[in-house]
Structure 1
Amino acid sequence: MKIYIDGKYYDRENARISVFDHGLLYGDGVFEGIRIYHGKVFKLKEHIRRLYDSAKTIALEIPMNVREMEKAVIETVEINSKENGYIRLVVTRGDGSLGLDPSSCKKPTVIIIVDDIQLYPEELYKKGVKIVTASTRRIPPECLDPRIKSLNYLNNILAKIEARRSGAKEALMLTTGGLIAECTADNIFAVKEERLLTPHPCKGALDGVTRRTVFALAKARGIECAEADLCQYDLYAADECFMTGTAAELVPVVEIDDRIVADGKPGPLTLALIEDFRKLVAA
């Protein structure tokens, strides 16, 4: 494995950043998770655009332009000869002082890791997963915009710990107002009366690239799609439910808080969208 750090490549055991990097000290930075299918980087432009949007929002100036970043990602994939895998692209604030002030960081650090990832076994894409609602609430947009894909995921990690301790694969996170926000690492969708519904990014959900792709696939099938304020009731009473994410792709949800969703099996639209998505990435 060769890891890209600031224009150079290192073996995994030699890949190092400073202990004074503010990405380590304060979670000050942004990242993207990107998939590789059949040797090609999936939705690269969309991911890079979001990376730069996140960086701009936190006043982090990435020390290379968009084209240079795209080229670096593709080159790192090629150097690692990865046909199918996962890219973790990270930009930290960089080496600085022990104070919070980011002005002490003179140059951001750019890291590109290419590796394998598998969050769920294949059988769960056919049988579905169980999730629970976490007591940990999603950080509200007025405190931190959820569209910023920052390095600080402690809020999500605490919810993930709750899920694991309850025996569930994932946790559903609510806003401070009690609305559905997202899962710890995935967006959430409900199907009700042939309508596809998902929380609005401005209400606490990441504007996921896979989320957008699912919207496009559903619309191509003539399915009505909408961003809406959803409560737990809407998921409990849904005809179908599924999660989406770069690493997870599309995962059916068949049980929420000990309540069976519909008949407890992945729904027909969910299965159709999984098939559509897999055809898309294989094309």
Structure 2
Amino acid sequence: MLCWFNGKYLDEKELFISPFDHGYLHGIGFYEHFRTYNGQVLLLEEHFHRLCNALNIYRIPMPYTIKDIQNVIEELWTAASREDCIFRLNVSAGRANEMLSPEYKKPNVIIFRRSLRQRTRGTEKNAIWLKTTRNSPEQPIRFKSHHFGNNILASFEVQNLETTEGFFLNTKGHIAEGITSNIFWVRDDILFTPSLSTGIVPGITRQWVIHAAKRLGIRVVEDIFFQHELINAYECFVTNSIEELVPISKVGRTRFLGEDGPIYQRLHQSYIDEIIQIMKRG
């Protein structure tokens, strides 16, 4: 597989990172996951901004521009016979001294791709309530970082993440997020989603859904919620940048409208319309 590493195109077998990289030693690294549509990335600017925000907090320089990243994605997409893929843009802190307050000067930046599994858009998933508690982030807002142990532990509770999502509660018992997604539900024609204060990732697709719902005249409530508030809903869906908007048919014994949910259908169609527009630019 062809990858991009610190400005060079290399085969994956040629990639080597020092064991003294703080991404390995201390988990100091951040990433973005996204997919292409006809070689284009939906909401790439938002992904790039979220990554740079995390890097800035940890005083890690980003040596490349969004245009650089876009060009690399197009090159790797072309090298993959123009087959749309999942891409990971990964930045680890690089080598630095072992002391606290390290000075990061040369991060390692990697972009690689993997195949996109063909999944019918709008296919329902089930969900379960996880026994693993959502841990608290190191800073007020959670970043997409190398600190992924909590998600790995949670994934052991789910037999198949292709068909089932796990729903986290945080340490206070509040609904948080899925293992790989953000959570939404509908009751009384109101769209509910947990607040960022619960320690969730500020998902790019999550934010798009909130803005789209408001444009469509749907009331959105971001707040702190307990399990019973989702159990009393009649629609539920999850979001991420790879699977888009995924309807949930049930969580535990509670059943939802799934793909027939009217608010889900409106938002899902709006998202498809966005995809069509970006594909036209490809």
Normalised TM-score (structure 1): 0.87
Instruction: State the alpha-carbon separation in 2 of the partners of residues 220 and 179 from structure 1.
Output: 28
Conservation of the 8 A alpha-carbon contact between 2:184 and 2:193: yes
Query: Secondary structure at the residue paired with 2:109?
Result: strand
Question: Which deviations, in whole Å up to 9, do the C-alpha atoms of 1:208-247 show, x marking residues without a partner?
Answer: 1101111222223211112111211111111200000011
* Number of the residue aligned with 2:261: 267
User: How far apart are residue 93 of structure 1 and its match?
Assistant: 1.1
Deviates more, 1:169-178 or 1:271-280: 271-280
SS at match of 2:155: helix
On the 8 A contact 2:2/2:10 being kept in 1, the answer is yes
Conserved? CA contact 1:190–1:234, under 8 Å: no
SS in 1 for 2:17: coil
1:155 equivalenced with 2:143 (yes/no): no
Q: For residue 6 of structure 2, what is the aligned residue in structure 1? A: 6
Q: Which amino acid aligns with 1:248?
A: E
Q: Could you tell me which residue of structure 2 aligns to residue 138 of structure 1?
A: 134
Residue correspondence of structure 1 range 181-260 to structure 2 within 5 A: 181-260=176-255
Paired amino acid for 1:115? R
User: How many positions carry a matched residue from both structures?
Assistant: 277
Q: Aligned partners of 1:129, 1:100: CA distance in 2, in Å? A: 46
Structure 1 unmatched ranges of 5 or more? none
**1:164 and 1:170 in contact (8 A); partners too:** no
SS state at 2:145 partner: coil
Runs (5+) with no aligned partner, structure 2: 278-282
Q: Does 1:112 align with 2:115?
A: no
What CA distance in whole angstroms lies between the structure 2 residues aligned with 1:63 and 1:22? 17
CA distance in 2, matches of 1:191, 1:238: 6
Q: How far has the Cα of 1:75 moved from its partner?
A: 4.2
Alpha-carbon distance, 1:259 to partner: 2.1
Q: Secondary structure, in 3 states, of the residue corresponding to 2:268?
A: helix
State the secondary structure of the residue aligned to 2:246.
Answer: strand
Structure 1, residues 251-272: CA drift from partner, whole Å, max 9, x if none? 11111123223x5664122123
> How far 1:156 sits from its partner (Å)?
1.1
Larger deviation, residues 215-224 vs 180-189: 215-224
User: CA separation in 1, counterparts of 2:50 and 2:161?
Assistant: 33
Determine whether 1:281 maps to 2:275: yes
Asked if 1:173 corresponds to 2:171, the answer is: no
- What is the alpha-carbon distance in structure 2 between the residues aligned to residue 112 and residue 122 of structure 1? 26
Same amino acid, percent of matched pairs = 32
Is the Cα–Cα contact under 8 Å of residues 60 and 105 in structure 2 kept in the other structure?
A: no
Match of 2:120 in 1: 122
**Residue in 1 aligned with 2:280?**
none
**Greater Cα offset, 109-118 or 246-255:** 109-118
